[in-house]
Amino acid sequence: MSSGSLIDQIDAFERTALAAVQSAPDAAALEAVRIEFLGARNGRLRDLQTVLGKATKEEKPVVGKRFNEVKQRVTAEYETKQRALSRPKRAAGGLDVTLPGVRVEQGRRHPLTQTILEFKEIMGRFGFTVADGPEVEDEWHNFQALNIPADHPARDPLDNFFLATANYAARQSTASELNLTAQPAAVTGPRLLRSQTSTVQIRVMESNPPPVRIISVGRVYRPDTIDATHSCMFHQMEGLLIAEGTTMAQLKTVLRLFARAYLGHDVTIRFRPSFFPFTEPSVEVDMSWDNTGTKWLEIGGAGMVDPNVLKAVGYDPDKVTGFAFGLGIERFCMRRYRVPDIRYFTNNDLRFLRQF
Ligand code: DAH
């Protein structure tokens, strides 16, 4: 037998063996291919080796070398294919359906946003519509019109976030000359981050005749020392009702009904006599933290709108009266969900936020 035909036989084996390996569709078919071609007992490679045993002495180095090459190549090809088939199957498009799924993270509203939406809904049922006002305010709306005169301690620059504008410097030098009973030119006066949402009361009354029945919800800013129940930025819900013949009893009823609507019937609301420049009489409002009757948390202030405020916006205090209240939104949310620290609301810790 010539070396040419032996080499041809090896080549032919290589072609058929590789084609069979490559076209095997699954592990079982590949195993059949292995037995047929590479099987140690009756495999075709074995047969080929037997045939090659007949090569002459001169042919042997060439034929033997080629045989080993082919054996290695087919074996390597088989192993590669075997690894590929034992990998998890991939559907068209590369999606590996055998891998555990990746959970789709669903977004949700911040607990305070949820609370605010619920507040608006509850107050809407009581007939209050929603009004809005700016967070950067002038002194007229934050103080003056609310019956907080220039020498009032609440206006101390250390207790407020005044904006560092040229206007602020101007205010410092002309404070004593300011006409404190007239509305300062809105564009020229100093500006501050509002310290209360009561500002919106003024804005609404300035541009609407009575009767008024509004709430306003938003951020307020105070340079308070931060602790578990205080923050230098928090949210308030302001309420204002102006009409003929309003009473303190109505105010207390609205606040009680509101607190129960949001917190449930086991909450107790308590009113303490207090003072605010823009209400007379004034009360501070507490809610029970639990059922022990020993722990109370202040949730805001309220009262009958001071006649000076009504005059400042051009209302006639002899014709209309009203009540107003300002509630801390974080504290309601804390009570409802037993949040022990107000700082959770702004820490952006997902372990907290995911619980709502
Ligand atoms: N503005 C007050 C504060 O931030 C809360 C308040 C008290 C609002 C009495 C009112 C009110 O509308 O009538 O502490």
Ligand 1 pocket test, pick from 240, 246, 275, 276 with the greatest ligand atom count within 8 Å of Cβ, gives: 276
Distance 108 CA to ligand 1 centre (A): 31
Distance 40 CA to ligand 1 centre (A): 94
Contact between residue 320 and residue 242 where contact means Cβ atoms under 8 Å apart: yes
Is residue 177 very low, low, confident or very high in pLDDT (cuts 50, 70, 90)?
very low
Distance 135 CA to ligand 1 centre (A): 16
Contact between residue 276 and residue 348 where contact means Cβ atoms under 8 Å apart: no
Per-residue pLDDT tens over the stretch 180-234: 444 444 556 899 999 999 999 999 999 999 999 999 999 999 999 999 999 999 9
Q: Work out the percent of the chain whose per-residue pLDDT is above 90.
A: 77
Closest-CA residue, ligand 1 atom 9, reads 302
Give which of 351, 296, 297, 304 is closest to 329, Cα–Cα: 297
Quote the pLDDT of residue 154: 94
Token readout for 121 is: 């809904």
Q: Give the SS3 label for residue 49.
A: helix
Quote the pLDDT of residue 5: 85
Ligand 1 pocket test, pick from 142, 152, 195, 196 with the greatest ligand atom count within 8 Å of Cβ, gives: 196
Distance CA 13, CA 7 (A): 10
Give which of 288, 271, 272 is closest to 335, Cα–Cα: 288
Quote the pLDDT of residue 171: 53
Give which of 248, 258, 223, 278 is closest to 329, Cα–Cα: 258
- Kindly compute the dihedral angle of the four CA atoms of residues 161, 166, 172, 173, in this order, to the nearest 10 degrees: 180
pTM score, whole prediction? 0.69
Is residue 302 very low, low, confident or very high in pLDDT (cuts 50, 70, 90)?
very high
Ordered by where they begin, the domains of the chain are 3-86 (no CATH), 111-353 (3.30.930.10)
319 compared with 97, residue with greater pLDDT: 319
Distance 284 CA to ligand 1 centre (A): 9
Instruction: Kindly give the number of the ligand 1 atom that is closest to the alpha carbon of 279.
Output: 13
Q: Name every protein residue with a CB atom under 6 angstroms from any ligand 1 atom.
A: 196, 198, 238, 276, 278-279, 300-303, 324-326
167 compared with 162, residue with greater pLDDT: 162
Distance CA 351, CA 163 (A): 35
| Sheet-wide strand order for 296-305 | 129-130, 212-221, 233-243, 321-328, 296-305, 279-288, 269-276
Per-residue pLDDT tens over the stretch 100-151: 888 888 899 999 999 999 999 999 999 999 999 999 999 999 999 999 999 9
